[in-house]
Amino acid sequence: MNLKDPTLLRQQCYINGQWQDADNKESIPVNNPATGEIIATIPKMGAAETRRAIDAANAAWPAWRKKTAKERATILRRWNDLMLANVDDLAAILTAEQGKPLAEAKGEIAYAASYLEWFSEEARRIDGEIIAAPANDRRFLVIKQPVGVTAAITPWNFPSAMITRKVGPALAAGCPMVLKPATQTPLSALALAVLAERAGVPAGVFSVVTGSASAIGGELTANPIVRKLSFTGSTEVGRKLIAQSAETVKKLSMELGGNAPFIVFDDADLDAAVEGAIASKYRNAGQTCVCANRLLVQAGVYDAFAAKLAAAVGKLKVGNGFEAGVTQGPLIDDNAVAKVEEHIADAVAKGAQVILGGKRHHLGQTFFEPTVITGVTRDMKVAKEETFGPMAPLFKFETEEEAIAMANDTEFGLASYFYSRDIGRIFRVGEALEYGMVGINAGIISSEVAPFGGVKQSGLGREGSHHGIEDYVELKYLCLAGL
C-alpha cells in the first residue's frame, strides 16, 4: 500500500486522544481479501479499554456540548475537508482491507465526507419551539439537547461511510461517540480518527476501540453512561444488541439487513432497467444492504430482460481492486462465498437455471463470477435470505398485484426498486411497497440529504437528511409560569 501520508495507516486504537495498544498487548491481523496477505495488525481490546473510552467521552462531553453550534460545525467541516484532501490514501486503505475497486473506494470516501459536510450544516439548525400556552401568564418552550455519550458499531462493507453517517450527527448535536468498527476493516476507522484529531475534535469526543466484538459490544450496551447505540449490520446481531441495551433503556438506531426487490414492469425502459440492475446488484460485488436481492420481471419482458442483463453482466471485470478497469472485487471472506454458493445450489436443485457465471472465479481467493440465474421461484432460499454477493436471481410475475405481493413477502423492508413509465402505476406501486426507501427508475438512491433506513426487521430510525440529527437529541419541555 503506497500512501502519500503513511501516518494515516495506524495499528493502534484511539482512546481519549491517545494511540494505544491493548492492555494485554494482544493483536488481530487485518487481511487483504484479494490476496490473503496480512496488511496490518490492530489491538485486541475488550471491556476494560472500552470502559476507559466511555469514561473519557463522559469527561469530554460538558466542554463539547458547551461549544457553540458554529464551533462544532467548523470542526466537522474541517474534518470533511481533510477527508477530501486525503481521498487517495483513504481509498487505498479502504480497498486494501475491504477489496472494493479503487474507483468505488474513492466514491465511498466522498460519500462518507458528505455526511460530515451535511451535519456541519445541520449542527446550526437544531432549533426549538415556543408553544402558545393555555394561560396568559405562561409560556411553553421546547428545546433540543444532546442525548449524551453515544456508541456506534459498524459493518465491513462500507468501512468509512457507515462511520461518518453516525459520528457526523452525534458530534453535530453535541454528543461524544465511542466507535467499534468491523474487525475485518478497522484501518479506515483509525484513519478517520487521525483526521479527526487534525480537524480539532477534542480528546475523548471520538474514540475508536478494536478487538473482541462481544466484549466491546457488551460494555457499550451495558454501561449506563452510554445513552444511545447506533448499529449498522445484520439483523441477527441487531436483535442481540437491542436485547443487551434493554436493561439501560438506551436510545437505538438500527440499520440492519435487507432483501430488496427490483421490479421490472412490461412498460419499463429495459435498457435503463438493466443499467439500474447492474448498479444496484453488483455494486461492491453485491455486498451492500440495499443491493437488489430479488429481480421480479413481468412475463412479457422476462426473456428480453434476462438476455440484456446477462450480456451486460458479462462485461463486468473481476480482479484486484487496485487494477485499472476492475469493476468487481473479491468477497470479504470464505463465508461470504459459501453463502452465494449455497443460494445458487439451492436454486438449481429446485429448478433454476444458471445463464451466466455460477462459480468461484479462476483468480481464486474469494473472487466469484458475476452470476445471473433464471427460473427462480419463491420456495428457494434466495427469496427469503440476503445473498450479499454478485448473484442476480430472476423471478417471473404476471400482474402488478402479484409483483407487489411478492415484493412485500419478506420480514425485511430496507430498499426496493421498480422500473415503469406509467405514472399511475408509479404512485400505486411506490405507495404499496413496504420499504423505507423506493428507487423508481433508479438503481442507486442513497444520499446524505435523504433519510436512509428501513421498516419491519430492517431497522429503527433514519440516518442522513434533516431527520438524522433527531436520534442524537432529547426534547425538553420548559413551562414558564407567573409571567
Ligand X SMILES: O=C[C@H](O)CS(=O)(=O)O
Ligand Y SMILES: NC(=O)c1ccc[n+]([C@@H]2O[C@H](COP(=O)([O-])OP(=O)(O)OC[C@H]3O[C@@H](n4cnc5c(N)ncnc54)[C@H](O)[C@@H]3O)[C@@H](O)[C@H]2O)c1
Would you tell me which residues interact with ligand Y (CB under 6 A)? 153-158, 162, 180, 182-183, 213-214, 217, 232-234, 237, 240, 255-258, 289, 386, 388, 414, 459
Grid cell of 406 as nine digits: 411478492
| Count of residues that bind ligand X according to CB under 6 A | 7
Q: Report helix, strand or coil for 430.
A: helix
**CB closer to ligand Y out of 108 and 386:** 386
**CB closer to ligand Y out of 69 and 213:** 213
Q: Is 157 in the site for ligand X (CB under 6 A)?
A: yes
CB nearest ligand X: which residue?
A: 446
Piece in contact with ligand X (CB under 6 A), picked from 21-29, 215-223, 288-296, 469-477: 288-296
Give residues 60-89 in contact with ligand X (rule: CB under 6 A). Answer: none
**CB closer to ligand X out of 79 and 158:** 158
CB of 258 within 8 A of CB of 412? yes
Q: Is 253 in the site for ligand X (CB under 6 A)?
A: no
Q: Which does 60 bind (CB under 5 to 8 A by kind): ligand Y, ligand X, none?
A: none
Half-sphere exposure of 169 (CA within 13 A, CB side): 29
Q: Which does 312 bind (CB under 5 to 8 A by kind): ligand Y, ligand X, none?
A: none
d(CA 286, CA 329): 10
d(CA 390, CA 412): 20
Q: What does 342-378 look like in DSSP terms, one character per residue? A: HHHHHHHHTT-EEEE--SB-TT-TT-B--EEEEEE-T
Catalytic positions: 255
d(CA 77, CA 58): 24
**CB closer to ligand X out of 206 and 452:** 452
**CB closer to ligand Y out of 277 and 414:** 414
Q: Report helix, strand or coil for 379.
A: coil
CB nearest ligand Y: which residue?
A: 217
Q: What does 144-197 look like in DSSP terms, one character per residue? A: EEE--EEEEE--SSSTTHHHHHHHHHHHHHT--EEEE--TTS-HHHHHHHHHHH
In the complex, minimum distance from the CB of residue 66 to ligand Y, in angstroms, rounded to a whole number: 31
Q: Is 98 in the site for ligand X (CB under 6 A)?
A: no
Return the bridge partners of 318, or none.
328
Piece in contact with ligand X (CB under 6 A), picked from 1-9, 47-55, 67-75, 282-290: 282-290
Among 160, 328, 446, 458, binds ligand X (CB under 6 A): 446
Task: Output the CA torsion 156→158→163→168 (10° steps).
Answer: -170
Piece in contact with ligand X (CB under 6 A), picked from 95-103, 287-295, 454-462, 475-483: 287-295
Among 196, 290, 337, 392, binds ligand X (CB under 6 A): 290
**CB closer to ligand X out of 56 and 260:** 260
CB of 33 within 8 A of CB of 332? yes
How many other β-carbons are positioned within 10 Å of the β-carbon of residue 427? 11
Residues that bind ligand X (CB under 6 A): 157-158, 161, 288-290, 446
